[in-house]
């Protein structure tokens, strides 16, 4: 932990396992990078411990893994990520799993991409979430010897018919950048009607799509768009909606 400032940890090849909290105080940022095609970031709390990657004052959190980002905690039993700022996630393969989702206590804005399935869950009922554009962190000390993520927009799976799943315990979700599942992968977006109601707004010309998989958008309250009729497509697939 640091009381203020940045935390940046990177491997040129090899995985990172987080067994205790990684905490940047104030608006400090956290940048974790596991470079290499077989390198993972595993958020696996030690016995009777918590392992949350967090910024206490709204700094950006960035996790980049050549292979996967995973957790050993079952859904609903731990918090992997927490900030009131932005969150950028990038993997070459899976990001979470159905039974062990990457759970986010809070984040103002989220962008992520995975080379396989992507399973995320937002906890809490009082905060809202935007799926939008997030600028990558690129510190000079890291970029000299490791690659890193690019700026990201929306939520995307890029290969392996990867699914995109984001569910919430409550609060609204605003989509301002594309949510796209690869191939026959499905999109599953769901908000619960708790706290800030659970509205889903597809705004800014954004599209939620899959090439041929099912697109499912279930709002706890309202499902809306700010685009005038006939000006954009909110949902797209050759499969089912």
Chain-centroid distance, C-alpha 109: 9
- Model confidence at 196, pLDDT cuts 50, 70, 90, reads confident
Q: What is the dihedral of CA 35, 39, 43, 48, to 10 degrees?
A: -120
Give the lowest-confidence range in 1-5, 14-18, 168-172.
1-5
| Predicted confidence (pLDDT) per residue in 22-65, tens digit | 999 999 999 999 999 999 999 999 999 999 999 999 999 999 99
Alpha helices, DSSP H only, in 107-186?
140-143
- Model confidence at 141, pLDDT cuts 50, 70, 90, reads low
pLDDT at 127 over 90: yes
Beta strands in 148-186 (DSSP E): 152-153, 155-157, 164-168, 173-175, 179-181
pLDDT at 2 over 70: no
55 vs 83: CA distance, rounded Å: 5
Alpha helices, DSSP H only, in the chain?
140-143
Enter the tokens of residue 189: 């977006």
Enter the tokens of residue 116: 């396989």
152 vs 105: CA distance, rounded Å: 21
pTM assigned to the model: 0.96
Enter the tokens of residue 73: 């905690």
- Other Cβ atoms less than 10 A from the Cβ of 170: the count is 20
Say if residue 21 is exposed, middle or buried (CB neighbours under 10 Å; 0-12, 13-18, 19+): middle
CB distance 46 to 25 below 8 Å: no
pLDDT at 5 over 90: no
pLDDT at 142 over 80: no
Q: In this predicted model, which residue has the larger pLDDT, 5 or 117?
A: 117
């Amino acid at each position: 932990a640091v009381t203020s400032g940045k935390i940046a940890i990177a491997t040129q090849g090899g995985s990172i396992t987080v067994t205790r909290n990684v905490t940047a105080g104030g608006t400090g940022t956290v940048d974790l990078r596991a470079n290499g095609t077989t390198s993972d970031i595993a958020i696996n709390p030690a016995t009777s411990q918590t392992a949350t990657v967090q910024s206490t004052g709204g700094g950006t959190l960035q996790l980049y893994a050549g292979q996967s980002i995973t957790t050993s905690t079952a859904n609903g039993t731990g918090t992997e990520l927490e900030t009131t700022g932005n969150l950028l996630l990038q993997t070459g393969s899976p990001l979470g799993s159905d039974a062990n989702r990457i759970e986010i206590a809070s984040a103002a804005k989220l962008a992520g991409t995975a080379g396989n399935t992507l399973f995320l869950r937002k906890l809490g009922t009082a905060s809202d979430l935007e799926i939008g554009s997030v600028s990558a962190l690129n510190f000079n000390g890291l970029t000299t010897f490791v690659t890193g993520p690019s700026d990201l927009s929306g939520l995307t799976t890029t290969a392996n018919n990867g699914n995109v799943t984001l569910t919430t315990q409550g609060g609204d979700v605003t989509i301002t950048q594309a949510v796209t599942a690869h191939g026959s992968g499905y999109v599953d977006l769901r908000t619960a009607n708790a706290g800030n109601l659970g509205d889903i707004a597809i705004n800014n010309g954004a599209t939620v799509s899959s090439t041929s998989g099912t697109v499912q958008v279930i709002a706890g309250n309202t499902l809306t768009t700010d685009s005038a009729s006939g000006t954009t497509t909110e949902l797209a697939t050759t499969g089912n909606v």
